[in-house]
Amino acid sequence: MESLYIRHLDDPLRTHFTKRREILVLLGSRQSGKTTLVKRLFPDAQYLLVDNEPVRRMLESYDVNVYRSALKSGTTKLIIDEIHLLSNPGRAAKIIYDQLPIQLILTGSSSFHIKNRTAESLTGRKIDYYLFPLTFSEYLVQTGVEETLNFDLFQRIVRDSWSESYRLFDKGSILSRVLLYGLYPNLVNNPMDVDYLKNFAESLVFKDILELELIENKRLAADLLKMLAYRVGSLISYAELASSLGADQRTIKRYIELFEQSFIIFRLYPFTGNRRDEIVKSPKIYYYDTGVRNAVIGDFSELAIRPDRGALFENFIIAECVKANAYTGSGYTLRYWRSKQKSEVDLVLTKGNRMIGVEIKYGKASFSQAFMRRYPGATYKVVTAENFY
């Protein structure tokens, strides 16, 4: 059964300590599978959960002798789960790394908290890995539909030619389920658990971020997340959001940064060839998971009757590309393109002199002629619900 739970990060994490001694830091949102993954890959490691009060008190002693006495005999690897809950996670990790002969594995749900409290003390001592919600391929493997992982969706986009694929399963029904309920691992066995998703969406924000005292106004945060959910795939203006919510721009921008650093949303910035009539500032907002997005707005109605199914599909494809680009280390920069005349390309991938424009539509679509005229050396792809996988 273990093969059903494989993730794209299995090999990079499993081989981490064969190549280096640096601390393995695994970051990702709550319930993305971090604990399951490190426990499966390092079954002999001693495990400490910071959410356990005695463990937290022990680690917050910041005393190497206390740490040494807490280690079991023969321990060579140590997992510290939810390290971001410590008052100074970097200090604890530095003491262990510098003074104890063990390999250290850290997990955390809030990159903001970890990075801001470990940046100085762990410089040169750690390697960060990011675990996202399942990719479409991981979902297919974990549900037993396919046997091996792949990056077919992303690779078909970045390859020079577009090849049609033929699958022996009902791609449409699986896509509908994924667009509605998302790709968090706990939903594999309970694919339509709306109550779980609603509670989970709330805990993503209000357990991690509020516990860390990073957000002062819970109502404003909830309203902002909902407004962003309704504007998935649209250009956002911090000034407009602030005006609509009765808040100042600085707070709105900071909250969005916190949501992003907690792996709830991400921003896609505009691509510009330094032409005056191209959008150069306004980002677009996407959710890492469409199920969480739907939970935020409380809408799980059938895909066929949804006016936002195009936005959901666009969000899904772009999130898949973000995950694959990170997991493969492909090094593409992901942007969107829009002219002031409102010609638009949903996704532009660039690396070196290579440029790929991607139009994403749930139904049939054609590519922007304006973009093709401006960037004749680019490759152009159209991704739809029929040909995406």
Residue that terminates a domain, selected from 101, 131, 161: 131
For residues 241 and 293, membership in a common domain is answered with yes
Q: Note whether residue 190 is domain-resident.
A: yes
Q: Note whether residue 389 is domain-resident.
A: no
Per-10-residue mean pLDDT of the chain, 389 residues long, equals 80 97 95 96 98 98 98 98 92 97 94 70 92 97 93 90 72 96 92 88 76 81 96 97 97 94 94 78 96 96 97 99 98 96 95 96 91 94 93
> What tokens does 228 get?
């962003």
Split into its structural domains, the chain has a count of 2
Supply the range of the domain harboring residue 254: 136-383
Residue-level pLDDT at 5 = 86
203: region left, alpha or beta (phi > 0 left; psi from -120 to 50 alpha)? alpha
Residue that terminates a domain, selected from 69, 100, 131: 131
8-state DSSP, 134: P
Phi, psi of 272, deg, nearest 5: -140, 140
For residues 68 and 206, membership in a common domain is answered with no
H or E element at residue 348: strand 344-351
Under 8 Å between Cβ of 330 and 312? no
125: region left, alpha or beta (phi > 0 left; psi from -120 to 50 alpha)? alpha
Q: Note whether residue 68 is domain-resident.
A: yes
H or E element at residue 307: none
For residues 101 and 159, membership in a common domain is answered with no
Residue-level pLDDT at 226 = 96
Residue-level pLDDT at 215 = 84
pTM over 0.85: yes
For residues 197 and 224, membership in a common domain is answered with yes
For residues 61 and 95, membership in a common domain is answered with yes
For residues 83 and 147, membership in a common domain is answered with no
